[in-house]
């Protein structure tokens, strides 16, 4: 278990950062509010995502969809946790990528269970082109998944 402690610390720190950032946004920015940080490029917004990644299924409003998404994310989280503990600590890149994915999944799972939705707040845009609003947990999942793909591509014989 000792060999996993640094990675578990990383997960705990990232989940804490995600939850703290969301709490600050909820407290300081009204729902659907928007604060321009870098005009024409980056804003902090306060939205609720009841769907999956990039707002998929967010318009349904059905509690069944919320339950399904929570169950699916819990299943995925369990699978990543199992793989994480089976991966040797010597495989640093793999452990970090799995830790990032776990932290992101856990951060959004906490929101989904506690609030019934995920708080998203980072918004990038160029003129009228907007990237879907996201949060720290989404960033962790995305970076972890990209790192995982990179590791698998590099390992190919």
**Which residues are tagged catalytic?**
120, 138
Closest CA to 9 of 126, 109, 96: 96
Burial 74-111 (b: 16+ CB within 10 A, else e): eeebeebbeebeebeeeeeebbbbbbbbbbbbbbbbbb
Contact 46, 25 (CB under 8 A): yes
Contact 94, 148 (CB under 8 A): yes
């Amino acid at each position: 278990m000792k060999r996993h402690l640094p990675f578990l610390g990383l997960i705990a720190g990232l989940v804490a950062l995600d939850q703290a950032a969301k709490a600050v946004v909820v407290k300081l920015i009204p729902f659907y509010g928007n604060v321009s940080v870098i005009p024409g490029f980056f804003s902090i917004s306060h939205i609720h995502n009841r769907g999956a990644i990039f707002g998929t299924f967010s318009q349904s409003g059905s509690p069944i969809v919320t339950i399904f998404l929570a169950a699916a994310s819990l299943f995925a989280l369990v699978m990543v946790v199992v793989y994480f503990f089976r991966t040797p600590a010597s495989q640093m890149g793999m452990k970090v990528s799995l830790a990032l994915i776990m932290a992101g999944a856990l951060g959004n799972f906490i929101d989904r269970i506690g609030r019934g939705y995920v708080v998203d707040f980072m918004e990038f845009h160029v003129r009228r082109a907007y990237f879907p609003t996201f949060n720290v947990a989404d960033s962790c999942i995305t970076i972890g998944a990209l790192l995982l793909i990179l590791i698998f591509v590099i390992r190919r014989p």
